[in-house]
Structure formats: structure tokens, C-alpha cells
């Protein structure tokens, strides 16, 4: 028997192919196949593979109330040296001295298994290798490190979390940053709880629901209530790691969200939770940090800023100090008015860099040196109201924080707010916090497909992803001499989102010298003079002018020049394939106009052919036209992208599109004497 | 009305003094005092008031106080005032957040912190006053660091230490000359006060020395201390080393199982070096790095037996275990302390401030190895950048000994490139590309074999300047401190073709444009940057084409290194050979302009092209 065992082991060792696994969900007994595995065919690069991870959620009625109990089990195979760190784990849980509700981690057990000389050697996790640290005022982190984890080890661990937050079920992710062989999630929901569920992600999961019983001890003895056992599982999931051009990788991971809709203990009143966006709307409007702020008073008089003489007369101004009267009469349109008012407000109230959906009233605002974006937007809404401009809040989840779904309501998923402003029959959007971005534009992280207008008597979904665009116009006017010296001026006009981005970069620069040096390095030229436009007078445009010199190749007989000066059209896609779609920051419109005066007596040997490209969806296009006359070279480039999303099927065409553009912009014109 | 503001630069000629660039923060006053109560305890109090001029300086206004089982924050108060002196916020002890989080598995340390809030307007002044109680032992005194970071100026700062007769201490002043006053204090005590007036802010220097090499500081150390029934004599490194040795003695017993595996792995090795390598490999196979810093265990290693049983250890434990393993097979091994962040230890003052890592010295006859035990990505006989040229403290049974780990000669940090390029009429190219990277050049790629294939391709393509590359084949080989790789590439628009002419780049590894060229002149620190790069590119000259450029050699010489380029036509190939030697060293500030000129000349050499022309045109 032993000989057979050893022979089988040797046979297994000789092979590098993965074997057909049987589902092994019980810890304590890794299979021979799991122990012998040396690589994973589906992902030969994998440093480790999760053979199994399972989570069960149960609800227990205790003397302290209803609790949710999570039981996590995991088994991982270490395949490469980098994989040994999977033997270290950290569990973050809620535990605050200021709250009676908390979470507790218990039952932490772990074992590593190693095959040594044909024998399975187990090393158990002991208490010396566990610790608990306070992370901050609200959270703790429980850490442990399994002993004897090396290449080839199978590691297993399990732990439980007992949580007072039965109404906030932890989201469950099937996918990890290593491949997952088998994952399951089982939640037993007693009849007095009702959850809404959302299953999402690129890779599908199976599920089934079965009925069960749930025993409850009452004063009359044990009662059996009904319960549903809801199971979800998936097999052979690839790893999911952050990639370029993906805002939030969690949007693509297979995962499950449970949201409590209703709680109804037998004999008790029904408690409804947010089970629909309509309810979320209602909850927000009833909240004093949201709904009450619709009646918030314009805070600017407290800072000595007024919209009219009457306001000044009404207000007791002796304490106000300096008084400013805002004159909107010079403003040509609503956007300009909003810009003036926002600017005035931001001079007085600072942003603390944080987002959120809850604001504060004027009295609270006056106590703070800086406030979050929601508070700024509510304040701006109040100011606009006094100026006769209608605005309503729009709540959303920033792209970097993951998408929300119109089908699944979750107030906790909302994390940012902007304003929608009515302008006749048009609307535009403004964020009081990111004031580098012109009114009507938003920071790319806020450009979402699903944002929700929440106002008394008005609730609707709006797509604000395409509310604005990044526009750039570049003009180059240069002179070339016989020695290949190119001198000229580059004028850049950034509008829309790009105005905001450029302004933000400029405002955050260390100093002007560093800013210009960085620019020179990026543009690959010497900068002899640099001018930037005044932000105050040109709110919608960031302009700068760069006076440059550059050397091109010249050998006395010929000059060799790439005329596509300062045109950054390098293909962003280096890899041949891509598994996830491409999410762009925003829509883009680019125009370049380049004029280069050539030295007398020189003629161009040839001229690059014009290029005109368009992707199948018709939303992405590029034109490059080059003309040469006896006096000058003229280039005109226009690039347009009216989409922010490319699916994986488009990748090859997209890559080819960019390859063609990059190749075209590498052309050289030879000027001969 | 449109306003413009104009910045004038003459080409590379004007250097703007650092005073033109406003610092973000000024420490208006900083007064600290350490009052010794006994040989093992004392109270540290500090008052600091700083003006923050803009949002870049806001993080300087954060408060952090590191504590531990023998260091506890007792009192705290803070205020924020606006430009008019009005108090806009009072910060209480309860506003501080306490955190125990560490990168270790377990640690005694914890911290209190407060994040300065964005103010209504700048400037603001933030003032903190706090008191920390030290107890149980005093193995170090707080240092005097008047300038805590870049872009911070100081108006006045002082640090006073009040010694009792039982608190013997010594100090070293680095990088500045403070006023030092020694006076008698009541109760037979002595007061030492270090103070400075205005100090301008420091800017980060692209090629300058590190912050700790520049920053004014006073490091203080007791001449002895007691801890957990041990006594440490800190009068010199020798006696300090004795204490470390005493802490760690009796901790080198290996488990029988590891002893058996060790002999199995090493008994058949034919050379001492190969025995060391085999033992190191075994250590790597059976352990991984996990840090545990508890109590005196922060300085005392875990036993080798625990490491064998758990397969876990930090730098101390893994190094101690490795020493035990080498001793078991009859080889010498020395537990060695090192400062990864400081090349030079204070020669005549042992201190805990600088040391932060442990390695192992293996003094073989005619050959000394310096072994990193926490990461087997480094070959056993390779001295990585964190140790080359660094002072170390060898811990012998007789005591500590200072030594310096030798650096590799510049030419041994070798980067070799070979590329054969076949051009196509559409401007694309097929490139057979090979690289060999040795020692410090290996270290820049040492992770390469451990990352996924897709990421390997990204890393390698980033090293080569060619447009629209596609990798047809890739082979990577690593052996010791050398990593070689071969790429079979197609480049979509490799070179520019224009009407009977082809413009060929002369290098696939260009020098990239500089930033920070307008910094004020400063010492140029190129320690550890020495290397030799040899590049050979062969273009097959397409049929019907001939070389239409002069193939003049190029030579750039400077104290910092040299660059040569030779080109020739050989058997139908245009062959370009570049040799670039960068010399490791520290160069005086009067050579700064020459350094910039040298770097610019290198960048220009990368931009040159050779032109092939169609015959008969």
C-alpha cells in the first residue's frame, strides 16, 4: 500500500498538468492532487491558486439582539515564491469604543500542509503568530501568519466574525487576485428578514435557493420558523487585478451584494429598510443633513458677501467686516453667473478634499475651516436659489469607487454629490468643490452613467457621463533655418474637462520653474518663454503660450523634420490582447494646427499622404492632413472620441486605429536645397 | 482685462537661487526638552509652532507621536490660528486618533496622530505642545532634528537635555553648527542646550545627497543602559556589540530535522561557497519574512529553533538562523547590523537611531560574502544596493566591530545590449534583441522572473525605444546576479522612411530628457550609480541603399563618466557601438554645471540619426 502510495505520488510529481479536481470544501484534508499540484495550466504565471473559499452567513438571536455570523474558510496552494505571502492574513473589523455595536473575530484556526519525503507534514497556527491591533477609532485588524508556508504548501485557515450589523451584510467577492478553483457563498435567511440581492461581475455564478427551518427559542419554547438557504457558487475563476483603463476593478469581479429590505420579528412591527431607490430618495429627503438643507439659508451674508443692496440693509452688517456686493449684471448667461457665485463662495469656504452626500447647515459650516464637497454643493444651491437660479442635488458613486445599479438600491453606495442647474430648457452640471473645472464640466471621476436627482417631487436617473468633454486646440507657428534650428510658439487652449485638469496641475505645481521644466521635458524642447492666461478672466479656457527652440537633423544639403510638433499620438495599447473593456476618462476633441516656415531655397521631396480613420461605431475618428508649399509646411489634425467605453471585441480595431495614427505622426519630411 | 505673467529663461544659463522658491512651511519656534528622572526614565516635552503658507505644506502640520510599552503620551494640546492671530481651532487630546497598526505581524508600538484640516485661508499657524513619558529603560534619547523635511524653514529651534549624574550620555552633531550651552542645573544635574537661529528650507535635489545626509541633526545616545536584566555599555561599537551578542546568545539551536536537511543539502558540495549557497537556498525554502517586534524582542532575535519550527522570521531571526546553519556545517558566520538608509554609521558613537537591518557576513578564506537573509531574490553572493558601501557592525562573541562593505567596481555593474535589425520598406523592423545585466543592473530587473508574463513584457518593452512593438518570442534567464533576456520583436514604425531615405536611430536605449536642470548648484551624489553600458546595434543595410551620413566617432568625457560611439560598415551591416561608463562617487558643487552639460550631451547623442539613401538618387 505504501509502495503504491509512493509510486502514485511520483507519477503525479512527474506531470505538470492540472488534474480534474473534486470539490473539496471541508478543511483539514487537502487531497493528494492539491498537495501535488505544481502549476496551474489555466494561468501558468499564477503565484498561488485559491483551491476553495467559502463563506456562510447565519443569523442568531441572542440576548443582545440579532447578530449576523460569518464563517470564512479558505484553502490556497502556493505555486511560486511570491505566493508565500498568502500565508499572512489581515481581517479588518469594526470595533469602536464609541459604539455599542461592534464586530468580533473568533475561531481563528489555520494549518499549512507540506509534502516532505512522501509524508504530509502539518503545521498548525499557534497563538504566538496571531495579533490584534487597533487600526483607528473605528476599526481593528486581526493579523496572523501561518507557519511553514513555502512553495508547494497547501494552506488552510478559517475564522468567524460575529457582527451586530445584521442589516449590513458584507459584500462577497468570488474572485481574487489569484485564480479561484471553487468559491461559494451560503446565506441562511430566516423568514423575518428580507433582503434584496444583486449578483454582478464578468464571470457568471450559479445559484440555488432551498427551504429550511430556523429554530427560535421563545418564552413558549422553541419555535421553528421558515428560512431560505441561498447558495451561490462559481468554478475556475481567473484572477482579477487592476488594469489600466479600468476605474474600479470591483465592478468586474463576480460578487454578491445583500441589502436588507425588511425586518419583521414575529409579533413585532415591520421595519422597512431601503429596498428601492424610491425609499432611498425618501430617506435622504428626511435626513437633516440632506433633505433639510433644501431650506438652508444662503451662507454668504455671514461672510459679508451679498447679492443685493437690500440684503446688505437687511443684514446686521456691523459684525460682517468687509462687505462684498456681487454684481451679476455683467454676466451674459446662467453659467457665467454660477461661475461668479461659485468663485465668491470658494473664496470664503474651503474644501477639505473629501466627498460625501451629507452636508451641514450654515451654523455648522461657520464653525469649520473646511467642509466636504456635499456641504459646498448645498451651500451653492442655497446661493443660487437667492440669485434666482434653480439647482438640485444629484447623488452618485464616483467611478473610482465602483458603479451603482439602478436595479439595486443601496444608500451606502452613494458617495458624492454634484448640482444640476436648470437653464431654460437646458441643464448643466456643476461641482462646488472642484472649482478648477469650469461650470458645466466635472472631474472625470464624477462622470457616471447612473446618477440620481433627489429633490422634493423630483427623482430621476440621469446620465452625466457625457455632460462634458475635454477639448484641446493647439497652434504652432514656427520657423526653420538651414541649420535645423526650429524656433516658434506653441499656443494651447484647453477647454472643458481639460481646462479643469490643466488648471489643477498648474495650481498644484511646486513652483513655476519646476512646472516649466516638466513641460520642457514632456515636449522635448527648450522653453525660452512661458505665459499662462489669467484664470479669472477666462473661466472656461486654460491657455498657455510656450516659446520654444528645438533642433532637427540637418546636414547642409537637407533638413529632416517631423512636422507633427507637440502632437502626442502614441498608442496607449502595448499589449496584443485585452480581457477587460476599456474605460476612458472622458470624451475628447482635439485639434492641432501647425505651420512651419521653411528656409528659402529648400523644397520638400515629398509630402505624407492624408489619413482619415473612423472606428465602426462612428464615435472615434481621426484626420491628419499635411500640405507643403514652397514657403511652409502646414499640418491639420483632428481627433474626436465621443465615447468613454470600448468593449473587448473592439480592442483589436482600436489598437490598429492607434497604430496607424502613431505611425503617421512619425513621418519625416525631407527638405532639400 | 487679461493679465499674463511671464517667466524668462535663457538657455540653461540662469540658475535661480533656492530663496526664490517659497518654502511651504516655516517653523517659527521649536523648543524641546528631555528631563531625565533616573537612569531609566524621563519626560520629553515639546512645543512647536509652525506657519503653513500654502496647501503644499498642510501635511507638515500633521501631528504624529510614536509610543510604545515604555513611551506614553501624557499631555497634548494644539491650536490653529489664522493670519490675524485669531484662534480658529483648539485641538484636544480626544481629537487624536490612536493606532496600533504596523507592518509587522505584532509590535508593541502604537501612535497618536492628527491630520491638519484644510483651513479657510493661508497662512495658518499650528502650535502643538505635548509631553511623553519614558519609562523602564532609556536606550536612546530623542534626536534633535530642527528641519523635519523638505521645503520647511526654521526661525528658531532648541533642544535641551537635563542629565542626572546617573544619565551618562554622548552626542554627535551632523551637518550644522548649533550653539551648545552646558550649564549646571539644580540637584547636581547638568543641562545641555542645542539651539539654532534661522535656517533656510532645503529643496529636494535630483542628484544630491539624501535628506539624512544633509539635514541638521544631533543624535544623542546613552553611554549605557539597563533593560530586562541586561546591561548595555554604549561607549563604543565593540561594547555595544557585546550586548547584542549577549542578548542573542543561546539562540542558535536548530531542530534535528533542519540539521538533517542541512547536511543533506551541503555535505556533497565541493566548495565552501557552494555550501553557503546551498544552505541559503534551504533557508529560503523553509522560511519567509514576517516581522515581530515585541519588547526587547525588538532587538533580540527569535530563537533559531522557533524559526525552524514556524518557518517565519524577521531580518534578525532569519540572519541568526542562517548563522546557526553555517556554524552547524563548520563555516564561519557573523551576525551583522546595518543601516539600510545611511551609508555611514557614526564611527565613535553606537546608537539605535541609524541601525535598522541585519545581514550575515560569511568570511571565507580569500572571499567574504555578505548575505541578505530576508529575500532570496538576491543571490547569496550578491551585495545589493542597500548594503554596498555601507558601514556595518559585526557582532562577534568578543564584541562589535565596524567594517564597510565594498562596492562593486563600476565596470562590474554591466549592462550589455545586442540588437540585430532587419528593416522593411514600410518602416517596420524585425529586431533580435538581447540584454545582459550584471550586479546593480541585475538588481533593477531582479523581480522579472517572478511577475506574470504580461507584466514581464511591459517591463521589457519599456526599456526599448521602438514604436508599436509586438513580442514574437521572449526568453528570460537568471543565474546569480545576472539576468539575460532575448526578445524577438516586430516594431511597426521603427524608423522613418521618406522618399528614398531611411532615418535610423542610433540607440534603442536613449538617455531621456532631464528635469531639474535649473536647480541651484549642489554636491552631486552618484554613490552606487556606477555602471558600464555597452551597446552594439547592427542594421542590415537594405538592398539598394547606402549610408548617406558621416560616421564620425563621438566621444564625451567628463569627471562623471564617458561616452563613446563608433560606427562602421561591415559585411553589409551598419554597426553602431556605444560605450557608456558612469563613475560612482561624490562630486563637489563647483562641478554641477559640468554635470548638467554632460547629461545634456548624452541626451543629444541619443537623438542623432544615420541616414540611408537609395542608390542612384
Q: What is the CATH number of the domain that holds A623?
A: 2.60.120.1130
In this structure, are strands A350-351 and A370-371 parallel, antiparallel, or unpaired? parallel
Answer for the pair A668, A559: CB distance below 8 angstroms, yes or no. no
User: What pLDDT score does B528 carry?
Assistant: 92
Determine which of A121-130, A344-353, B101-110 has the lowest per-residue pLDDT on average.
B101-110
- CA B242 – CA B245 distance, rounded (Å): 5
Closest CA to A240 of A172, A200, A180: A180
CATH number at residue A89: 2.60.40.3140
Please tell me which residue, A424 or A187, carries the higher pLDDT value.
Answer: A187
Pick the residue of A84, A111, A138, A369 with the most B CBs within 10 A to test the interface with B by mutation: A369
Which of A44, A45, A83, A243 best tests the B interface by mutation, with the highest count of B CBs <10 A?
A45
Report if residue A301 sits inside a domain: yes
Residues of chain B with pLDDT under 70: 1-22, 294-297, 498-499, 617
**Does residue A378 sit within a domain?**
yes
Select from A129, A516, A527 the Cβ nearest to the Cβ of B105. Answer: A129
Quote the number of domains for chain A: 3
Confidence check: pLDDT of A516 > 50? yes
Based on the fold, state whether residues A107 and A209 are members of the same structural domain: yes
Interchain pair A574, B88: CB under 8 A: no
State mean pLDDT over A552-571.
89
Q: What is the pLDDT of residue B617?
A: 60
Positive or negative, the Cα torsion across A439, A445, A446, A447?
A: positive
pLDDT tier at A14, thresholds 50, 70, 90: very low
**Which of A110-119, A347-356, A573-582, B291-300 is least confident?**
B291-300
Give me the residue label for grid cell 460569518: A70
For residues A569 and A641, state if they share a domain: yes
Regarding whether A319 and A247 lie in a shared domain, the answer is no
Q: Which residue has the higher pLDDT, A317 or A162?
A: A162
Mark which of A408, A442, A462 sits at the end of a domain.
Answer: A462
Query: What pLDDT is attached to residue B549?
Result: 86
Query: How far is A531 from A322, CA to CA, in rounded Å?
Result: 33
> Diameter of chain A by CA atoms?
108
Shared-domain flag, residues A506 and A652: yes
In degrees and rounded to multiples of 5, residue A583 shows phi and psi of -110, 115
Collapse the DSSP code of A279 into the 3-class scheme (helix H, G, I; strand E, B; otherwise coil) and give the result.
Answer: helix
CA-closest candidate to residue A635, choices A672, A604, A600, A599: A604
pLDDT digits (tens, 9 = 90+) for A405-431: 888 888 889 999 999 999 888 999 999
Last residue of a domain, one of A432, A462, A492: A462
- Residue A520: its chain B contacts at CB < 8 A? 513
Give the range among A3-7, A645-649, B524-528, B557-561 with minimum mean pLDDT.
A3-7
> What pLDDT was estimated at residue B64?
96
A1 has a pLDDT exceeding 90: no
Instruction: Identify whether A438 is part of a domain.
Output: yes
Answer yes or no: do B492 and A662 touch at CB < 8 A. yes
**In this structure, are residues B374 and B301 in contact, taking their beta carbons and an 8 Å threshold?**
no
CATH number of B410-614: 2.60.120.1130
Number of A:B CB contacts under 8 A?
Answer: 206
Measure CA B389 to chain center: 12
Tell me: do A202 and A60 sit in the same domain: yes
- Sign of the dihedral defined by the CA atoms of residues B209, B214, B217, B219, in that order: positive
Give residue A110's pLDDT.
Answer: 97
**Contact, A597 vs A480, CB < 8 A?**
yes
Q: Does residue A466 have a cis peptide bond before it, meaning omega lies within 30 degrees of 0?
A: no
Distance, in Å, from the CA atom of B240 to the CA atom of B349, rounded to the nearest integer, reads 10
Architecture of domain B232-404: Roll (3.10)
Segment A581-589 shows an average pLDDT of 96
Please give, rounded to a whole number of angstroms, the shortest distance from the CA of A468 to a CA of chain B: 26
pLDDT recorded at residue A572: 86
Is A71 part of any domain? yes
Residue A139 CB burial class (10 angstroms; 0-12, 13-18, ≥19): middle
pLDDT reported for residue A274:
61
Residue after which a domain boundary falls, among A272, A296, A327 = A272
Predicted local confidence at residue A10, as pLDDT? 39
Q: Do B21 and A135 touch (CB under 8 A)?
A: no
Considering the domain architecture, whether residues A290 and A263 belong to the same structural domain is answered as no
pLDDT greater than 50 at residue A54: yes
Q: What is the DSSP string of B582-610?
A: E--SEE-GGGHHHHHHHHHHHHHHHH-EE
pLDDT for B12 equals 27
Kindly list the residues from chain B whose CB atom is less than 8 angstroms away from the CB atom of residue A562: 496
Are residues A286 and A217 part of one domain? no
Q: How far apart are the first and last CA of chain A?
A: 91
Which residue of A668, A669, A671 is the best one to mutate when testing the B interface, meaning the one whose CB has the most B CBs within 10 A?
A668
Q: Cβ–Cβ of B120/A348 closer than 8 Å?
A: yes
Report the pLDDT value the prediction gives residue A2, as an integer from 0 to 100.
Answer: 39
* Closest approach of A272 to chain B, Cα-based (Å): 35
Q: Are A455 and A480 members of one domain?
A: no
Which residues are registered as beta bridge partners of B489? B431, B471
SS3 A286: helix
CA B561, CA B36: separation in Å to the nearest integer? 52
Q: Mark yes or no for CB contact A560/B4 under 8 Å.
A: no
Residue B17 Cα, gap to closest chain A Cα (Å): 11
Residues A223, A349: one domain? no
Do A144 and A221 share a structural domain? Answer: yes
B interface test, pick of A322, A511, A607 with most B CB neighbours within 10 Å = A511
According to DSSP, the residues that pair with B413 across neighbouring strands are none
Q: Are both A668 and A552 inside the same structural domain?
A: yes
The verdict on residue A6 lying in a domain is no
Q: Where are the domains of chain B?
A: 21-227, 232-404, 410-614
Chain centroid to CA B510: how far? Answer: 25
Domain B232-404 identical in fold to domain B410-614 = no
Q: Which of B492, B513, B608 sits opposite A663 (nearest CB)?
A: B492
When comparing pLDDT for A471 and A304, which is higher?
Answer: A471
ipTM summary value: 0.88
Q: Which residues of A touch B55 (CB under 8 A)?
A: 508
Q: What is the mean pLDDT of residues A296-319?
A: 80
Q: Among residues of chain A, what percentage have pLDDT more than 90? A: 70
CATH number attached to the domain at B21-227: 2.60.40.3140
Q: How far apart are CA B21 and CA B5, in angstroms?
A: 16
- 8 Å CB contact between A592 and A626: no
Contacts of B468 in chain A (CB under 8 A): 571, 659, 662-663
Residue A448's alpha-carbon distances to A242, A396, A464, in angstroms, are: 19, 8, 6
- Domain residue limits at A410: 281-462
Question: Which residues in chain A have Cβ-Cβ distances shorter than 8 Å to B10?
Answer: 528
Q: Which residues of A touch B497 (CB under 8 A)?
A: 668
Inter-chain residue contact B468 with A510, CB threshold 8 Å = no
Contacts of A522 (CB under 8 A, 6+ apart): none
- Would the pLDDT of A31 be above 50? yes
Q: What integer pLDDT is reported at residue B15 of this predicted model?
A: 30
Q: Are residues A536 and A444 in the same domain?
A: no
Amino acid at each position: 500500500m505504501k509502495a503504491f502510495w509512493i509510486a502514485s505520488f511520483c507519477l503525479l510529481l512527474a506531470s505538470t498538468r492540472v488534474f480534474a479536481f473534486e470539490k473539496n470544501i471541508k478543511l483539514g484534508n487537502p487531497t493528494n492532487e492539491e498537495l501535488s499540484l505544481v502549476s496551474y495550466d489555466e494561468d501558468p504565471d499564477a503565484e498561488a491558486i485559491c483551491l476553495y473559499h467559502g463563506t456562510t452567513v447565519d443569523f442568531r438571536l441572542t440576548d443582545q439582539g440579532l447578530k449576523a455570523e460569518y464563517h470564512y474558510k479558505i484553502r490556497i496552494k502556493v505555486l511560486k515564491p511570491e505566493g508565500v505571502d498568502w500565508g499572512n492574513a489581515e481581517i479588518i473589523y469594526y470595533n469602536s469604543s464609541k459604539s455599542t455595536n461592534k464586530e468580533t473575530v473568533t475561531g481563528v484556526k489555520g494549518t499549512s500542509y507540506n509534502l516532505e519525503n512522501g509524508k504530509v507534514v502539518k503545521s498548525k497556527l499557534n497563538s504566538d503568530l496571531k495579533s490584534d491591533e487597533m487600526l483607528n477609532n473605528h476599526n481593528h485588524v486581526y493579523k496572523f501568519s501561518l507557519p511553514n508556508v513555502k512553495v508547494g504548501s497547501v494552506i488552510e485557515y478559517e475564522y468567524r466574525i460575529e457582527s451586530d450589523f445584521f442589516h449590513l451584510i458584507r459584500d462577497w467577492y468570488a474572485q481574487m487576485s489569484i485564480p479561484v478553483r471553487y468559491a461559494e457563498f451560503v446565506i441562511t435567511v430566516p423568514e423575518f428578514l428580507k433582503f434584496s440581492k444583486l449578483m454582478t461581475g464578468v464571470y457568471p455564478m450559479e445559484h440555488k435557493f432551498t427551504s429550511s427551518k430556523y429554530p427560535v427559542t421563545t418564552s413558549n419554547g422553541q419555535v421553528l420558523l421558515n428560512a431560505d438557504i441561498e447558495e451561490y457558487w462559481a468554478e475556475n475563476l481567473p484572477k482579477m487585478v487592476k488594469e489600466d483603463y479600468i476605474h474600479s476593478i470591483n465592478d468586474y469581479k463576480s460578487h454578491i451584494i445583500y441589502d436588507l429590505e425588511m425586518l419583521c420579528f414575529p409579533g413585532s412591527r415591520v421595519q422597512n429598510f431601503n429596498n428601492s431607490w424610491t425609499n432611498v430618495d425618501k430617506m435622504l429627503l428626511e435626513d437633516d443633513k440632506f433633505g433639510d438643507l433644501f431650506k438652508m439659508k444662503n451662507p454668504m451674508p455671514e461672510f459679508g458677501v451679498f447679492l443685493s443692496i437690500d440684503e446688505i440693509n437687511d443684514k446686521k452688517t456691523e459684525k460682517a467686516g468687509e462687505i462684498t456686493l456681487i454684481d451679476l449684471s455683467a454676466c451674459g448667461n446662467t453659467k457665467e453667473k454660477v461661475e461668479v457665485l461659485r468663485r465668491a463662495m470658494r473664496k470664503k469656504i474651503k474644501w477639505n478634499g473629501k466627498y460625501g452626500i451629507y452636508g451641514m447647515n450654515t451654523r455648522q459650516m461657520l464653525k469649520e475651516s473646511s467642509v466636504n464637497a456635499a456641504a459646498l454643493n448645498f451651500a451653492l444651491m442655497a446661493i443660487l436659489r437667492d440669485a434666482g437660479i434653480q439647482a438640485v442635488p444629484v447623488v452618485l458613486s464616483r467611478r473610482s469607487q465602483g458603479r451603482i445599479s439602478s436595479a439595486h438600491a443601496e444608500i451606502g453606495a452613494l458617495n458624492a454629490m454634484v448640482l444640476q442647474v436648470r437653464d431654460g430648457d437646458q441643464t448643466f452640471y456643476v461641482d462646488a468643490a472642484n472649482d478648477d473645472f469650469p461650470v458645466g464640466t466635472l472631474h472625470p471621476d464624477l462622470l457616471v452613467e447612473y446618477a440620481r436627482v433627489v429633490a422634493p417631487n423630483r427623482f430621476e436617473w440621469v446620465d452625466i457621463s457625457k455632460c462634458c468633454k475635454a477639448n484641446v486646440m493647439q497652434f504652432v507657428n514656427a520657423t526653420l533655418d538651414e541649420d535645423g534650428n526650429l524656433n516658434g510658439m506653441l499656443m494651447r487652449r484647453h477647454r472643458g474637462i481639460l481646462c479643469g485638469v490643466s488648471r489643477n496641475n498648474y495650481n498644484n505645481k511646486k513652483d513655476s520653474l519646476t512646472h516649466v521644466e516638466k513641460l520642457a521635458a514632456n515636449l522635448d524642447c527648450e522653453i525660452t518663454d512661458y505665459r499662462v492666461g489669467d484664470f479669472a478672466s477666462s473661466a472656461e479656457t486654460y491657455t498657455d503660450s510656450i516659446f520654444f527652440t528645438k533642433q532637427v537633423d540637418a546636414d547642409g544639403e537637407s533638413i529632416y523634420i517631423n512636422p507633427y510638433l507637440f502632437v502626442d499620438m502614441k498608442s496607449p495599447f502595448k499589449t496584443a490582447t485585452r480581457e477587460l473593456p476599456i474605460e476612458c476618462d472622458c470624451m475628447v476633441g482635439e485639434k492641432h494646427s501647425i505651420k512651419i516656415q521653411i528656409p528659402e531655397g529648400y523644397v520638400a521631396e515629398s509630402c505624407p499622404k492624408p489619413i482619415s480613420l473612423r472606428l465602426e461605431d462612428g464615435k472615434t475618428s481621426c484626420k491628419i492632413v499635411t500640405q507643403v508649399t514652397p514657403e511652409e509646411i502646414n499640418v491639420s489634425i483632428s481627433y474626436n472620441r465621443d465615447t468613454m467605453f470600448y468593449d473587448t471585441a473592439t480592442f483589436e480595431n482600436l489598437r490598429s486605429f492607434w497604430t496607424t495614427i502613431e505611425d503617421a505622426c512619425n513621418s519625416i519630411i525631407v527638405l532639400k536645397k | 482685462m487679461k493679465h499674463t505673467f511671464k517667466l524668462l529663461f535663457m538657455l540653461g544659463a540662469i540658475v535661480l537661487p533656492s530663496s526664490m522658491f517659497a518654502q511651504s512651511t516655516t517653523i517659527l519656534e521649536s523648543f524641546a526638552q528631555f528631563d531625565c528622572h533616573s537612569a531609566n526614565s524621563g519626560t520629553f516635552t515639546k512645543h512647536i509652532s509652525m506657519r503653513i503658507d500654502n496647501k503644499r505644506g498642510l501635511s507638515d502640520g500633521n501631528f504624529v507621536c510614536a509610543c510604545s510599552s515604555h513611551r506614553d503620551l501624557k499631555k497634548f494640546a494644539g491650536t490653529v490660528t489664522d493670519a490675524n492671530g485669531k484662534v480658529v481651532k483648539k485641538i484636544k487630546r480626544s481629537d487624536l486618533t490612536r493606532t496600533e497598526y504596523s507592518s509587522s505581524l505584532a509590535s508593541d508600538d502604537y501612535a497618536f496622530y492628527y491630520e491638519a484640516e484644510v483651513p479657510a485661508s493661508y497662512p495658518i499657524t499650528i502650535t502643538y505642545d505635548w509631553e511623553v513619558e519614558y519609562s523602564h529603560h532609556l536606550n536612546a534619547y530623542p534626536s534633535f532634528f530642527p528641519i523635519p523635511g523638505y521645503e520647511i524653514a526654521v526661525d528658531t529651534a532648541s533642544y535641551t537635555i537635563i542629565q542626572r549624574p546617573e544619565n551618562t550620555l554622548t552626542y554627535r552633531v551632523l551637518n550644522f553648527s548649533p550653539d551648545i550651552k552646558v550649564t549646571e542645573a539644580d540637584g547636581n544635574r547638568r543641562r545641555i542646550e542645542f539651539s539654532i537661529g534661522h535656517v533656510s528650507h532645503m529643496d529636494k535635489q535630483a542628484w544630491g545627497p539624501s535628506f539624512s545626509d544633509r539635514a541638521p541633526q544631533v543624535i544623542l545616545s546613552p553611554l549605557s543602559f539597563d533593560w530586562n536584566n541586561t546591561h548595555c555599555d554604549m561607549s563604543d561599537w565593540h561594547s555595544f556589540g557585546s550586548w547584542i551578542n549577549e542578548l542573542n546568545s543561546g539562540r542558535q539551536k536548530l531542530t534535528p530535522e533542519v540539521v538533517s536537511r542541512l547536511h543533506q543539502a551541503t555535505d556533497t558540495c565541493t566548495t565552501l561557497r557552494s555550501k553557503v549557497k546551498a544552505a541559503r537556498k534551504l533557508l529560503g525554502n523553509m522560511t519567509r519574512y514576517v516581522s515581530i517586534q515585541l519588547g526587547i524582542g525588538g532587538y533580540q532575535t527569535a530563537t533559531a529553533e522557533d524559526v525552524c519550527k514556524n518557518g517565519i522570521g524577521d531580518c534578525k531571526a532569519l540572519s541568526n538562523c542562517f548563522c546557526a546553519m553555517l556554524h552547524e556545517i563548520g563555516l564561519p558566520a557573523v551576525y551583522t547590523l546595518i543601516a539600510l538608509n545611511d551609508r555611514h554609521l557614526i564611527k565613535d558613537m553606537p546608537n539605535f537611531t541609524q541601525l535598522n537591518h541585519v545581514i550575515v557576513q560569511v568570511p571565507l578564506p580569500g572571499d567574504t560574502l555578505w548575505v541578505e537573509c530576508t529575500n532570496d531574490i538576491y543571490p547569496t553572493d550578491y551585495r545589493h544596493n542597500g548594503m554596498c558601501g555601507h558601514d556595518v557592525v559585526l557582532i562577534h562573541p568578543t564584541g562589535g566591530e565596524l567594517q564597510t562593505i565594498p562596492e562593486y567596481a563600476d565596470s562590474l555593474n554591466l549592462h550589455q545590449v545586442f540588437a540585430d535589425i532587419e528593416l522593411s520598406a514600410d518602416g517596420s523592423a524585425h529586431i533580435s534583441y538581447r540584454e545582459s545585466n550584471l550586479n546593480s543592473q541585475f538588481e533593477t530587473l531582479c523581480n522579472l522572473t517572478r511577475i506574470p508574463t504580461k507584466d514581464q513584457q511591459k517591463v521589457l518593452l519599456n526599456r526599448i525605444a521602438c514604436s508599436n512593438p509586438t513580442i514574437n518570442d521572449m526568453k528570460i534567464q537568471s543565474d546569480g546576479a545576472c539576468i539575460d533576456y532575448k526578445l524577438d520583436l516586430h516594431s511597426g514604425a521603427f524608423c522613418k522612411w521618406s522618399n528614398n531615405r531611411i532615418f535610423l536611430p542610433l540607440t534603442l536605449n536613449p538617455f531621456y530628457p532631464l528635469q531639474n536642470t535649473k536647480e541651484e548648484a549642489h554636491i552631486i551624489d552618484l554613490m552606487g550609480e556606477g555602471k558600464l553600458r555597452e551597446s552594439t546595434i547592427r542594421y542590415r543595410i537594405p538592398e539598394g541603399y547606402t549610408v548617406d551620413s558621416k560616421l564620425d566617432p563621438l566621444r564625451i568625457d567628463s569627471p562623471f563618466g564617458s561616452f563613446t560611439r563608433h560606427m562602421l560598415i561591415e559585411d553589409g551591416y551598419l554597426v553602431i557601438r556605444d560605450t557608456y561608463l558612469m563613475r560612482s562617487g561624490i562630486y563637489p558643487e563647483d562641478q554641477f554645471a559640468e554635470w548638467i552639460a554632460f547629461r545634456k550631451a548624452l541626451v543629444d547623442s541619443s537623438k542623432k540619426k544615420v541616414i540611408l539613401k537609395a542608390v542612384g538618387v
